[in-house]
Amino acid sequence: MIVQTVATQLFKEVMGSYPTGVTVLTTLDTNNKPVGLTVNSFASVSLDPLMILWSIDKNAGSCEVFKQAEKFSVNILSGEQQEVCWTFASKSEQNRFSKHPWSLSKNNLPVLDNVFASLECKKVQQIDAGDHYILIGEVLEVTKNEQDPMLYFRRKVGNVPEQWEKEN
């Protein structure tokens, strides 16, 4: 068991040091109330058709809502949306959507304002994977704004580094 604990801690350290983008996944529950959480386990899967995947912890408070949802929105946060990131990551925050502007899309999905991009998806597959579920979505709608995306690295979030903006 001690080897597993050490391996788990090392794995978490390695994965936390792997830079990723930051998203907030949103949907509506059965009462049409918006639900969302911060996720960095997000990736593209296919270009034909357009598909993405993300994963959710089976113990997440919103897991059952996303398991039942037919559609969801991937809100790729902009570098300036650090407060949004932490609000939707908080396990104790009950009124996440009252703290940040959002609207319902034409696909009847909650979409956060001022994000780098949003991908509205129809869930096509759900895979049981250890202590998580992997959800695969077919992209129905893509919206992109002018901001740069947020990056996650070693438990910190922020803007794309300035030196990356310079052309070679």
Per-residue pLDDT of the chain (168 residues; tens, 9 = 90+): 566 677 888 888 888 888 889 999 999 999 999 999 999 999 999 999 999 999 999 999 999 999 999 999 999 999 999 999 999 999 888 889 999 999 999 999 999 999 999 999 999 999 999 999 999 999 999 999 999 999 988 888 888 877 777 665
> Which numeric CATH code is attached to 21-156?
2.30.110.10
Residue 27 Cα distances to 40, 74, 87, 98, 137, angstroms: 17, 9, 16, 15, 13
50: exposed, middle or buried (Cβ count in 10 Å: 0-12, 13-18, 19+): middle
Q: What are the residues whose beta carbons fall under 8 Å from the beta carbon of 45, sequence distance 6 or more?
A: 51, 52, 53, 136
What pTM value is reported for the model?
Answer: 0.91
Residue 90 Cα distances to 21, 49, 60, 156, angstroms: 18, 34, 11, 15
Phi then psi for residue 27, to 5 deg, are -160, -175
Residue spans of the domains in the chain: they are 21-156
